[in-house]
């Protein structure tokens, strides 16, 4: 690493190992060493799961050099690794966050650490307020671990989804606006509560209180139980600011889903003109996420 630093005054390095488990482990070891030496590190994962030798022999050096120039920051690579973990539980999300924290703490600029913490929360789909707050505090303080009691973090349907359902049922002032936003951008698509939110948004277009008895007929037994459970939760007065915050989380999810689709198209090695459009769209989506 010291020799490399001597011959690279810019301190820019791109890491590109084989894509197998050994290569991933080597990448993570190298990142730790390079960051300790103050390098600005990016990580290249070649399309189609190719190793560097095979890619260069089949695609040529010019194609490889082009991809080197487009390699994302090391934290983007690590976030993609963290997203391969089990994120279906709070404990799993906590493990994924703590996998990333030692790398996040190495960023010297506090504002940049905060921006990356926000990006991590969005890409790992961390909507739980307690875990998000713990992540931000740990990033600000340059701690290598996030400590949050899992029992304090909501489980089941995501808190944001539950809250929007409750608002649609009870809030006369916000009901029509929330329903319109959900229907307009199809913000319910792909959610655990997709059928419930979709049915409620459809029923609440006029702003009238929904008839839950009629609403539950097309729902599955699990969805009926969940809707009943949410409906009987204690009532808390909703504000326009809270509603917009919840809708913003759903918008971020939609952006992240499109970003994943675009990344898959990029990795399929499309023609140059299409690749340029995809890369431009990827950059735009990433700006929206931050």
User: Tens-of-pLDDT digits for all 290 residues of the chain?
Assistant: 888 888 888 889 999 998 888 888 888 889 888 887 888 899 998 987 788 999 999 999 999 999 999 898 899 889 988 988 888 777 788 889 999 998 888 888 888 888 888 888 888 877 666 677 778 888 888 888 887 655 445 444 578 899 999 999 999 999 999 999 999 989 998 888 999 999 999 999 989 999 998 888 889 888 888 899 899 989 889 999 999 989 998 988 888 888 888 988 888 788 889 999 999 999 999 888 76
Q: What is the pLDDT of residue 130?
A: 64
Structure tokens at 280: 């431009």
Residue with tokens 């409750």: 166
Residue with tokens 């730790």: 32
By the 8 A CB rule, do 136 and 142 touch? no
Last residue of a domain, one of 42, 72, 102: 72
Structure tokens at 287: 């700006």
Three-class SS of the chain: CHHHHHHCCCCEEEECCCCCHHHHHHHHHHHHHHHHCCCEEEECCCHHHCCHHHHHHHHCHHHHHHHHHCCCEHHHHHHHHHCCCCCCCHHHHHHHHHHHHHHHCCCCCHHHHHHHHHHHHHHCCCCCHHHHHHHHHHHHCCCCCCCCCHHHCCCCCCHHHHHHHHHHHHCCCCHHHHHHHHHHHCCCCCCCCHHHHHHHHHHCCCCCCCCHHHHCCCCCHHHHHHHHHHHCCCCCCCCHHHHHHHHHHHHHHHHHHHHHHHHHHHHCCCCHHHHHHHHHHHHHHHHHHC
Last residue of a domain, one of 91, 119, 154: 154
On whether both 139 and 33 belong to a single domain, the answer is no
On whether both 209 and 272 belong to a single domain, the answer is yes
Last residue of a domain, one of 154, 177, 211: 154
In a domain, 37, yes or no: yes
On whether both 165 and 271 belong to a single domain, the answer is yes
Q: What is the pLDDT of residue 149?
A: 58
Q: What is the pLDDT of residue 152?
A: 44
Q: What is the pLDDT of residue 32?
A: 84
At residue 248's C-alpha, the angle toward residues 242 and 249, to 5°, is 95
pTM above 0.75, yes or no: no
On whether both 160 and 270 belong to a single domain, the answer is yes
In a domain, 127, yes or no: yes
Number of domains in the chain: 3
Q: What is the pLDDT of residue 151?
A: 47
In a domain, 250, yes or no: yes
Q: What is the pLDDT of residue 150?
A: 56
In a domain, 177, yes or no: yes
Structural domain boundaries enclosing 146: 83-154
In a domain, 290, yes or no: no
In a domain, 265, yes or no: yes
């Amino acid at each position: 690493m010291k020799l490399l630093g001597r011959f690279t005054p810019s301190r820019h390095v791109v890491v590109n190992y084989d894509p197998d488990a050994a290569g991933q482990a080597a990448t993570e070891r190298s990142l730790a060493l390079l960051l300790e030496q103050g390098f600005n590190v990016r990580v290249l994962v070649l399309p189609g799961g190719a190793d560097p030798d095979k890619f260069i022999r089949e695609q040529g050096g010019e194609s490889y050099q082009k991809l080197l120039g487009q390699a994302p920051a090391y934290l983007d690579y690590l976030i993609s690794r963290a997203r391969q973990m089990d994120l279906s539980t709070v404990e799993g999300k906590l493990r994924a966050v703590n996998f990333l924290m030692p790398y996040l703490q190495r960023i010297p600029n506090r504002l940049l650490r905060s921006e990356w913490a926000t990006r991590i929360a969005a890409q790992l789909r961390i909507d739980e307020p307690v875990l998000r707050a713990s992540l931000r505090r740990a990033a600000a303080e340059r701690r290598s671990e996030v400590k949050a009691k899992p029992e304090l973090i909501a489980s089941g349907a995501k808190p944001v989804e539950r809250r929007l359902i409750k608002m649609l049922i009870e809030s006369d002032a916000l009901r029509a606006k929330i329903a319109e936003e959900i229907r307009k951008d199809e913000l319910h698509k792909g959610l655990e509560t997709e059928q419930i939110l979709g049915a409620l948004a459809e029923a609440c277009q006029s702003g009238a209180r929904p008839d839950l008895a009629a609403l539950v007929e097309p729902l599955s037994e699990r969805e009926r139980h969940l809707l009943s459970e949410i409906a009987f939760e204690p009532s808390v007065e909703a504000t326009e600011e809270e509603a917009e915050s919840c809708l913003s989380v759903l918008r971020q999810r939609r952006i992240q889903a499109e970003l994943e689709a675009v990344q898959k198209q990029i990795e399929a090695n499309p023609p140059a003109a299409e690749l340029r459009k995809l890369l431009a769209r990827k950059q735009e989506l990433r700006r929206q996420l931050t």
